[in-house]
Amino acid sequence: MNRSEFREALLAVMDRKIHWAWPGFTSGLVPRERLHVHLEQEYAVYVRDFPVLVARAYVACPVAEARRELIANVYEEETGGLAAGRPHPELFLEYPRGLGMDVSRFEAVELLPESRHLRDIIDHFTLREGWEAAAVVTTLFLEGTANERRELEGVRVPPPPLEQHPLVRHYGLPVEHLALTKAHRSVEGDHRKAAWKVILDAVPEGARPIAVEALEKTHAAWLGYRDAVARACGLGRGPAGEPVLSAS
């Protein structure tokens, strides 16, 4: 697998990081009283521990230039010292706090079975399959979106104003609680380029197949996880595959 084939194999997975239920979250279809389920599961599966997950790749990486990029990511996520001003997991909790939720719930989240499976997959690939798989799973998949191909090609779609954020429009979240969204927007362009540079430049040819496998398996587990969260939030699939409120 040469560099070009490796890049395409990774992008082919990221192109599919789309879930049928997501429009139900961005359009306000999810009942307000169930929105906490989505936020709790995201936080407990990977947001809370994301600095540690990336640090696993850093510790195992033998390539100095790649390590520097990885540790910069860890530093920002853990401290907010480069852009956000506060640790990113703490900033995530501003979403439920601004929505008036009981933030103490986030201290002991009970994972759905599919959430546990996704976390097990993440732990496997960040601990047992080398730094390459760990970096792909964390910096490409968990941080990335279905827009990776466009980002790499320099086609960046400007994000909508913060006032149009779904949590603001449909659930009344005060804009000042979007600190994490603001932080992501301030660093996202350079951040994505750095992530891809590490993977494409530093992952040796022999490790490329396991890196692609890690991405594929994480994506499959993520789809099942998102299915379960959608159900728990009261969404089902309509006749055309669109999200609808479940009868239950």
> Which residues, 6+ apart, have CB-to-CB distance to 91 below 8 Å?
80, 84, 179, 180, 183
Q: To which CATH superfamily is domain 3-245 assigned?
A: Heme oxygenase-like (1.20.910.10)
Q: Would you list the domain boundaries of the chain?
A: 3-245
Among candidate residues 70, 74, 35, 73, the one with its CA nearest the CA of residue 52: 74
Model confidence at 188, pLDDT cuts 50, 70, 90, reads: low
The answer to whether the beta carbons of residues 211 and 3 sit under 8 Å apart is no
Beta partners for 243? 237
pLDDT at 244: 97
How confident is the model over 194-224, as pLDDT tens digits? 999 999 999 999 999 999 999 999 999 999 9
pTM of the model: 0.96
Per-state percent for the chain, helix, strand, coil, to nearest 5: 70, 0, 30
How confident is the model over 114-134, as pLDDT tens digits? 999 999 999 999 999 999 999
